[in-house]
Amino acid sequence: MMQKGENLIERFECSTSKRSYVVVFSVVFLAFFIVMCFSFLMAGKGFLWLTDGLEQQYVFFAAQGEWLRQILNTIFVEHNFALPMWSTEIGYGGDMLVTLFSCIGDPVNLISVFFPLEYADLALNMTVAIHLYLAGLIFSFYCLYKGNGRFGTLIGAVVFMFSGFTLLAFTQVFMLACLVYGPLVLWGIDKVFDRKNPVLFIASIALCFLNSVTFSYSICLLLLVYCLVRYWHLDEKKTPRGFAKWVFKIAGYTMIGALIGMVFFVPNAMAILGQGRLGVDRPEALFYEPLYYIKLLAGFLAGTDVGADCSYGFAAIALIAVFALFGTKKSRDVSGSVDGIMKIMFIVLTVFLCLPAIGKVFNGFAYPNNRWVWAYALCVSYIVVAVMPRLLALNVRQKRFVVIGSIAYALVTGLVFLPFASKEVLFSCIVLIGLAFLLCNAKDIAKQKAKLAILGSTFVCIAFVFNNFGSIFTSGGPHAASRQVGIGRSYELLVNNNPSNVVSEIVDDSFWRYDGSRVPMFRNSNMVQHQNALLFYSSYYNDLVDRYHSYMGLISSSMNFSYTGLDARTPLEALAGVKYFVVPKGQTDMLPPLFTHKAACGVYDGMEYIAYGTDDYLPTTFFYDEVIDEADFEAMTPAQRQQALLQGVVIEEPSSLAKNADLRFTDQAVSYEIAPKLDKEQSFDDVNDAFEEQGIEIDGTKFTVVRSGATIVLKADIPADVEAYLYIKGVKYSDVPPSSRFTEAQRESMSLYSKELALFDDVFYGSPTKDVKLDVKLDDVSQQVWNPTASSHLYGGKDSWLVNLGYSDEERKDVEVTFSSAGVYDLEDLQIVVQPIDAYADQIQKLKSTSAKIHGASFNGSTYSCTADAEGSPKLLYFGIPYSSGWSAYVDDNPVEIKHSNVAFMGVELDGGRHEVELRYETPGLKTGAMLSLVGLVMLGAVVVVGRVRRTKIAEETK
């Protein structure tokens, strides 16, 4: 068997046929891919994570397919070029192109057009294999173009395709595209430096700019570094004039590629630049935590999430290749130039991984993020390819570097950092030592046997890493099987077996939205249910909607780019046009009190769910005739703001509405005393002793918590017939090190060794708490506040929350607050607020009655139109549609200004009388981007023509 393997390798190495390489590569890829997925397949799981995979990637992929089919039908069947660009099924409403940016720019994802919603899950899982296959194939062709051996190229391609970065396939499917474009750009720029046709480089840059703003930005940064290193090693005299010529040439080709991609890039960039979270102040650090560097070192031989979104790791052959590279003496020939480039790039990229400032630069100066680590994998994999021939014939110096380096690495990671080393690291260290000694004695064995050993060790390393990762999915843990979607089950989870889809049973031709409580509310599920719901999760979010939620202290929108309903708050539900509310049967503790009649019911997973309806909701369009001063609105509490918007409109611009709203607030603050939560058998003479036992120290509204899970009780009498809220204002959190997480009684009983161990934990405490949670409970109502801190990548500047504790027609007592993490919680204010619901219905009905003067409302995907009769004095025709610069308004066919209303929405001021009103939408920047893309294509055509003329001229001169 071994002899056959040796013969196959020898024939493969000697062949010059590209077809034979592709065949062998395809077989090897299939074997490694099956091994990579084995544990998941055995568990019936696919690549889609239950969070981002299901709620973002599947939904966007499936919705893209539907949208593309709709566009094709509009153009080729209806012969209409008015493309549907806006959807009411994206949260409050959103741009289809902007929402789908993370998916639509990748040509591989265009296969979605062939798959209906029910089967889009299978197609999306297929794209993982397609991306990895293309990545390996393009990497291989690049390596062969550079004159590398076929066996080394094959091993390098395997290392590249199945590095630790590929673990992202199980959480972030769309991020695999960079593995395809990275080597394509590298191949293209090397052809430019080789003075060959630049079309490949231009096309690869165009693909990057079509795909993503953030990816194309990081590509340009990496390209700058590589071009400087590559130019320095060119075999030509270095002069300012020569350098300027290269800069002009490369910048010009890059610009042409970028221009071609502008059709998606410009709208994409405009959406990103309009997001407030980019300007949020975050703490700066010169270095990462110590644990980051330990994982960075130990994780080189194992698929590891190091931190800062850096997922990497390689087979043992990669580290041996690096040692051999640095063990090779500097040479003046071409090989020395290649070695120099590889050494510099490896060192530079390694330094980049070690510095938070560089990670921040790569992430657009937002926060440190190393998702560009795919480029590090590309660098290491190419080192494997280039060094492979010398690994089979190591000289004394190289052997010394390989042996000493391998032993030193194994000792440091396996012994010194043993408490932090995973099973994958320890296993890979064993393979590393064995392979290093085998290669150092390669002269004593046939080269083909050594090649078999390299291939076998690579297979074993990748199989162990991915299957140990996968086995966690079948045995519990942080990546348990329950967190992956079963293959082909996405549509079932989001539609067929989704309790919130009970609203599909409702027959109601009017425009309405639904919300729910105690129901699985999958974000973005409304896009595949084809229902209107306040569910949203996308990096491309409307900053004004997020600002509206922040003004309201909405706990279901702790992240800027995500929201799951309106926390059952009666005024907000009415303002958003929520007509139906879903709850499990018998669990009405969080049912808003104005939802009184049953509209539909259904059984899902053995539990009955009921959709309750109400007549006290506001339609999409109605009139306001009273205005609220913006400064006054800013000064209100969230509880007052939600009442105010039922009485008047907030307009940022000057308004012709002369009447200021005479606001009436019915909210009341309930007094309370802070007490410890005690078990029945516990009693303390001094309340401070009770707090000490709980692990809490209290100073006003500043709580120092040394024990996670500590609870305080706000002793209060809450009246009947009110919605109760806990208002938490200005949360400032600071972590405490592990050695401080003991009560005085615990500290006194600790041994000296335990105290020293706690101090050791302080030094290597690598994951300080960044997202704190407060659990709030009143009787049977339990709510959780998730408050990302400034150290968290999810932080968006939010620190104040209005927590709905439900409505009751009976008196209630005592609110419990549990601190999930140890630390110091310094609150600006902490109030129990109640709001009687008596006035709500009248205020809602008063506004709703104005909609009777609005007729013929219709929406066709890009245009909203209606006939509005504004009687008497000027009024504001309000639209519950998020404000965007893409909207334009026309009254009686005359363009008018859209008023920025109620923080996030739109309005048009009308004089008295009957008016035809129309809102038209087009994606901001799309026309500009399309024009720039056309310019880029013309320039590309010019480059092709000029190149062809030049080659023809050279050929004629040669003759």
* Cα angle value 75/78/81 (rounded, 5°): 40
- Residues with Cβ < 8 Å from 125, sequence gap 6 or more? 46, 47, 48, 487
Residue length, the chain? 959
Phi-psi region of 734 (alpha: psi -120 to 50; beta: other; left: phi over 0): beta
- For the stretch 191-199, contacts whose Cβ atoms lie closer than 8 Å and that sit 24 or more positions apart, written own/partner, are 191/145, 192/249, 192/250, 192/253, 193/230, 193/231, 193/234, 197/947, 198/253, 198/943, 198/947, 199/940, 199/943, 199/944, 199/947
- Alpha-carbon distance of 305 to 186, in angstroms, equals 26
Q: What is the 3-state secondary structure (H, E, C) of 157-211?
A: HHHHHCCHHHHHHHCCHHHHHHHHHHHHHHHHHHHHHCCCCCHHHHHHHHHHHHH
DSSP per residue, 480-547: -GGGEEETT-HHIIIIIT-GGGGGGG----S--EEEESSS---TTTHHHHT--BSEEE-SS--HHHHH
CA-nearest of 949, 262, 151 to 143 is: 151
Tokens of 759: 């101090």
- Alpha-carbon distance of 898 to 864, in angstroms, equals 13
Phi-psi region of 312 (alpha: psi -120 to 50; beta: other; left: phi over 0): beta
Tokens of 173: 């499917």
Q: What is the Cα gyration radius of the chain?
A: 31
- Residues with Cβ < 8 Å from 163, sequence gap 6 or more? 303, 312, 313, 314, 377, 380, 381
Tokens of 151: 């066996």
DSSP E strands in 288-405: the ranges are 304-307, 310-312
- For the stretch 751-755, contacts whose Cβ atoms lie closer than 8 Å and that sit 24 or more positions apart, written own/partner, are none
- Going by DSSP bridges, is the β-strand pair 535-537/562-564 parallel, antiparallel, or unpaired? antiparallel
- For the stretch 66-71, contacts whose Cβ atoms lie closer than 8 Å and that sit 24 or more positions apart, written own/partner, are 66/117, 67/96, 67/100, 68/110, 68/112, 68/113, 69/113
Place of tokens 């071609």: 260
- Going by DSSP bridges, is the β-strand pair 854-859/513-516 parallel, antiparallel, or unpaired? unpaired
Tokens of 560: 């800027």
DSSP per residue, 715-774: EEEEPSSEEEEEEEEEEEEE---GGG-S-HHHHHH--HHHHHHHHHHHHT------EEEE
- Residues with Cβ < 8 Å from 155, sequence gap 6 or more? 317, 384, 385, 388, 454, 455, 458
- Residues with Cβ < 8 Å from 951, sequence gap 6 or more? none
CA-nearest of 254, 269, 194 to 224 is: 254
Q: Which residues of the chain carry a pLDDT beneath 70? A: 1-7, 9-10, 331-336, 416-422, 442-446, 467-482, 658, 680-687, 689, 738-768, 958-959
Domains (ranges, CATH) in the chain?
A: 9-273+288-475 (no CATH), 511-630 (no CATH), 668-679+693-840 (2.60.120), 854-921 (no CATH)
- Alpha-carbon distance of 411 to 579, in angstroms, equals 65
- Alpha-carbon distance of 648 to 661, in angstroms, equals 6
The answer to whether 16 and 459 have CB atoms below 8 angstroms apart is no
- Alpha-carbon distance of 165 to 300, in angstroms, equals 11
- Alpha-carbon distance of 391 to 373, in angstroms, equals 25
- Residues with Cβ < 8 Å from 853, sequence gap 6 or more? 623, 868, 869, 870, 871
The answer to whether 108 and 131 have CB atoms below 8 angstroms apart is yes
Phi and psi, residue 456, nearest 5°: -65, -45
Q: Over the stretch 787-818, which tens digit does the pLDDT of each residue have?
A: 998 888 888 899 999 999 999 999 999 999 99
Tokens of 835: 């709001």
Is residue 442 classed as helix, strand or coil in its secondary structure?
helix
**Amino acid residing at 402:** V
- Alpha-carbon distance of 51 to 826, in angstroms, equals 31
Is residue 37 classed as helix, strand or coil in its secondary structure?
helix
Phi and psi, residue 569, nearest 5°: -85, 115
- Residues with Cβ < 8 Å from 95, sequence gap 6 or more? 85, 86, 267, 271, 884, 886, 921, 923
CA distances from residue 750 to 693, 784, 823 in whole angstroms, order as listed = 16, 34, 21
pLDDT at residue 382, rounded to an integer: 97
DSSP per residue, 590-638: TS-TT--EEEEEEEETTEEEEEEE-S----SEEEE--EE-HHHHHHS-H
What counts of helices (H) and strands (E) characterise the chain?
32, 34
- Alpha-carbon distance of 67 to 98, in angstroms, equals 13
- Alpha-carbon distance of 71 to 78, in angstroms, equals 10
CA-nearest of 140, 160, 186, 180 to 12 is: 140
- Going by DSSP bridges, is the β-strand pair 578-584/513-516 parallel, antiparallel, or unpaired? parallel
Q: In the 8-state DSSP scheme, what is residue 651?
A: B
Determine what percent of the chain falls in helix, strand and coil, rounding each to the nearest 5. 50, 20, 30
- Alpha-carbon distance of 302 to 361, in angstroms, equals 27
